[in-house]
Amino acid sequence: MAELIGQISTSHVPAIGGAIARRLQQDPYWKPFFDGYPPVRQWLARNRPDVVVVVYNDHGLNFFLDKMPTFAIGAAESYISADEGWGIPIIEPVRGDADLSWAIIEGVIAEEFDVTTCQEMSMDHAVTIPLQLLWPDGPAPVRVVPVSVNTVQHPAPSPARCLKFGQAIGRAIAAFPGKARVLVLSTGGLSHQLDGERAGFINPEFDALCLDALIDDPARLAGYSNHDIVALSGTQGLEILNWITGRGILGGGAAREVYRNYHIPISNTASAVQVLERR
């Protein structure tokens, strides 16, 4: 049977990919950020996931403003990355887990979530950068199930809807008959706004509230509206929806926080990494 072993949530700022490519991990600007990841890699080495369900938001590589699914799930045997225009090097193709993908798709549709099924899907920086952060010697020794959430264009799903969607995914994973150790990887955020009058806005207090709530009270985050989140964490801070979805996958009840690192700013973004285990 499939076993959910934990959730890792991490930022996916494109500039991180450039820093990795230029080997700037020890640069004074980047060092506090990259120093946050060795404990995460140690946890991964102890727990050795087979499959990673990546919850992220696509940035135009698969979906653009003219066609933006609320939820999309990949069901391919492998996934390639591609040039997004950021100058970030592409990574080697990553293996998929089509059997688990279809089980999740069928499970969430049975629970009345209408998802877009993608038998071909490219990975953008929201997937490739977290994989490089967790497995810097690459390629990542895991199979991947990509789950894309619309955090880009109104109307986006509410935090409550995302939590319920994640819970439906979690139930589908629990019912999957195949043997696999499954890790949830949520990417994006935290607070940041890249344009407009509030460009550069960061809210450490709300970020801390979000990180705390993800441990033992995700329903608190589900009580916010998307307008609340944008007001409190910036336009692009809506990427917290990915973390909420991932927490839903991890399951109900209090989790145990294994590790947390929070650092500001990285490219005008509040960056964080958090590791949660099921109790």
**Dihedral (CA of 264, 266, 272, 273) sign:** negative
Portion of the chain with pLDDT greater than 90, in percent? 82
Low-confidence ranges of the chain (pLDDT < 70): none
Residue 88: its pLDDT value, please?
Answer: 83
Structure confidence by residue, pLDDT tens digits, 239-265? 999 999 999 999 978 899 999 999 998
Specify whether the CB–CB gap between 276 and 24 falls below 8 A: no
Q: Determine contact, residues 270/192, Cβ cutoff 8 Å.
A: yes
Residue pair 11/271 in contact (Cβ under 8 Å)? The answer is yes
Q: Where would I find the beta strands (DSSP E) of 161-237?
A: 180-187
**Distance of alpha carbon 111 from the chain centroid:** 22
pLDDT at residue number 87 = 78
Chain center to CA of 42:
19
Residue 196: per-residue pLDDT: 83
List the CATH number of the domain containing 231: 3.40.830.10
Residue with tokens 């072993």: 5
Greatest alpha-carbon pair distance for the chain in Å reads: 51
The pLDDT, as a whole number, for residue 82 is: 86
Q: Is residue 41 within 8 Å of residue 149, measured between CB atoms?
A: no
Alpha-carbon span 28 to 137, nearest angstrom? 22
Instruction: Return the active site residues.
Output: 125, 192
Strands 116-118, 94-95: pairing kind = unpaired
pLDDT, position 89? 84
Domain count, the chain: 1
Cis peptide before 100 (omega within 30 of 0): no
H helix or E strand, kind and range, residue 239: none
| Structural domain span for residue 98 | 2-278
Dist CA 146 CA 128 (whole Å):
11
Whole-model pTM? Answer: 0.96
Q: What is the pLDDT of residue 90?
A: 86
Q: Give the pLDDT confidence score for residue 178 in this predicted structure.
A: 85
